[in-house]
Amino acid sequence: MRVDFPHKVKITCTDVSKWDQVIVSTLDLFGPDTSRWLSESTFDDMTFSFADERDALLFRLKFSERVIADANNTEQQAYI
């Protein structure tokens, strides 16, 4: 069964020490089940993709200090 992950949240982190906290908290909140969420990372940011819009909203509320929506509202950006 193929699962789509259309709800994306991109986190840009200015304090690298917070990365571990985000990952551990994400695992605690959503579990290791990759049918609910996936993540990709670059040097400066991480993008979390969710199958369910409610999970993406919960993630944004938990981890963002400021959230910026793009024009089509498919990707959110959070700064921590």
What are the extents of the domains in the chain? 7-79
pLDDT at residue 52, as a whole number: 94
Share of residues in the chain with pLDDT > 70 (%): 76
DSSP state, residue 80: -
Mean pLDDT of the chain: 79
Confidence tier at 77 by pLDDT (50, 70, 90): low
Q: Which residue has the higher pLDDT, 68 or 16?
A: 16
pLDDT one-digit tens code per residue, 31-58: 998 889 999 988 888 899 999 999 999 9
pTM of the model: 0.74
